[in-house]
Every structure is written in structure tokens, then in C-alpha cells.
Amino acid sequence: MTHIYDISRTLSPALAVWPGDMPFSFTHSLRLRDGASVNLTTLTLSAHTGSHIDAPYHYVDVSIHPADLPLAPYIGPAHVVTIARRQGGILPDDFAGRDLAGMQRLLIHTWVSDLPDDQWPDDFPYPTVELVDWLAAQGVRLLGLDSPSVDHPDSQTLPCHHRLYDHGIANLENVRLAGVPDGVYELIALPLKIAGICGSPVRAILRTVAPQTGWDVR
């Protein structure tokens, strides 16, 4: 029987965002209770609110926006792996002894998944360039994290963002993996088709049963 895990952070005014970034909010321009025929709301948010992907335009001076991204990396088999590291750079050794055969997408589960949506992690584990190179050598197409960035929170050079781009590996940030056992799932985390911006929120889910047609999504 198929089971779906919703691994998305909930967008609400209570959601913690990157310090200094635009908080999520919404306003009503029309209300049923005021006599309008519908409720109509307007959203205000950063492109990196909650569970999201980064488009290359976020960190490289190229015109590659969410609407331009290939969708295949965001759909398909994904390994969920829990690691013990609480801070600092994540290394290949953090996955020693794990069965990662055939890995195409990796979602790293850390203590950050235990935080409620309204609490921001002041420090969190983040990938290293060594990890990104190791994943690329294994053919990984997407790296997903429960932390809010693939780089150190104080980094100004963003080495892992750039190394992922160099290897053609997509990223997925700020998912919530609490309650998801380690294993292989089908990931679906599609960015919105938005032109001109630097990232996109996603509704990220994991399914326990692969499609009957197989895993190969191109």
C-alpha cells in the first residue's frame, strides 16, 4: 500500500525565515463575510520561503529561473539517510556503512527536522565540496536537506551552491523529514513555473511505492 509523507514546511505567518528575509504574509482583498462573491487573498513571500529549490540565478549571473529548470531531477527515487552530525560540514564519511547503491537523489535527515516551523536553526550541518564531488561521482541528480542552505550560514562565496551547479546537481532545501524512516522513496518536489526569479517554494512529498513503469524519469 502506498504511503505519502508530506515533507514540506507549512507556509504561514509563523514560519521562521532566513534572518533578514521577507516573512510570509497574506492579505484579503475580498471577503465573503463582507459581501463579496469569493474570498481572495494576496501572498507576500521570499522565493526561498519554507521548503524550496534554488534556481541558478540565485547565485550565478545566468538567466536560469524556476520556469527554465528541467523537472526530471525533482521526480524519482530518493534515498533518505539520517546522520548524527549536528553542525559543521557534512562529509562522505558521514555515510560510511550505508547502502546507497543506485542512489540518484539524496535527502539528508538531521536534527533540524525536529524543529517546529516557527523555530530557526542558528547553526546547522551543511554539505562540503568534498561531499558534493563524491555525490557527483555516484551520479546523484539532486541533493536535499532539512537545513535551510547547502552552505555555511555565514558563507559569502557559497562554494557548495557553485559546485552543485558545476556538476548539474539540483538542490532542495528546508524539507522536514521527521517521522520518515530511512529508505528509498519516490520524491516529488516540483518548482513553480515562474520566470525571472531566483527560487521557488515546493510541495515536497515522498511516496513509498514506485510507479509500475519504473524509476527512470528523464
Q: Cell for 3?
A: 504511503
First to last CA, the chain: 26
DSSP tag of 74: G
Helices (H) and strands (E) in the chain, counts: 2, 13
Element (H, E) at 130: helix 129-137
Classify the C-alpha dihedral 211-215-216-218 as positive or negative.
positive
Which three cell numbers mark 88? 559543521
CA 144 from chain centre, in angstroms, equals 5
Q: How far apart are CA 26 and CA 29, in angstroms?
A: 10
Decide: helix, strand or coil at residue 93. Answer: helix
Show which residues are catalytic.
58
Q: Give 6's strand partners.
A: 205
